[in-house]
Every structure is written in structure tokens, then in C-alpha cells.
Amino acid sequence: MKAILDQRALMIATLTNIETTLCTKGEQGASIQDVSSALDKQHAAEDTRSPAGKNERDRAYALLQKEIAHHLHTPPNRAIQQMWDQMNQMRTGLAVDPVKDSRGNLVIPPVTPLSCKLQSH
């Protein structure tokens, strides 16, 4: 059970990092290619810093790559917003089920949806 909860916590952390990058790049008015490149670099850096969570990160980034491929022909501002919304929904969904340890402490704390003011073109 602990391994499953650790995996969920790692996935939440990875999705939070992805969302932060999507928001930053979206606020800058970046292209989908620029966003993809930044996320690839982020993924590699995270794997270098913490090899232990690689499987969870790989799953999160694989989901993101599917979203990027799905939005290649969507205007960048709309695509980034939709990807950000999808990642935010997945992140908050992973934390919906409150799990407590034997002392009654939350193992995975609730997360609040992030907010992001993306540029509109």
C-alpha cells in the first residue's frame, strides 16, 4: 500500500511541475514546439536529480506527449490552456481520495487547483 501511495505522490509532484512549465511558457506566448522542448529538458533534469521516481514521471510525461500530439494543429494559446487544464484535472483527481496513516494523518494531502493567466492571441 505504501508503494502505491508513494507512486501517487510522485505523480502529483510531476504533474505540478508540468503545470508550472505549461503556465510559464503559456504566459510567455510560447509555441507548442517550445513548450515540448522545455518539458523534454525538464523531464531529463528531473530524472537526473531523482532516478527513483522515473517510472511515475515517465507515465506523466507520456500522457502529456499524447496531449501535445493531439493539439499540434490547435492555436498555441488554446492548446496550452487545454493541456494545462487536463494536467490540473489529473493532478487534483489523484489527491481526491483522502488516505490516512495509522495515526490519522493524511498520507497524500489534498491539492488545490492551480491558477494560471495564459496569454490570449
Beta bridge partners of 100: 106
Query: Would you state the pLDDT for residue 38?
Result: 95
What's residue 119's pLDDT?
Answer: 59
Q: Report, as an integer, the average pLDDT of 79-104.
A: 84
* Cα-based torsion angle of the residue sequence 65, 62, 86, 45 in order, rounded to the nearest 10 degrees: -90
Query: pLDDT value at position 9?
Result: 85
Q: How confident is the model at residue 117 (pLDDT cuts 50, 70, 90)?
A: confident
Whole-structure pTM over 0.75, yes or no? yes
- Residue 106: predicted pLDDT: 77
For residue 41, what pLDDT is reported?
96
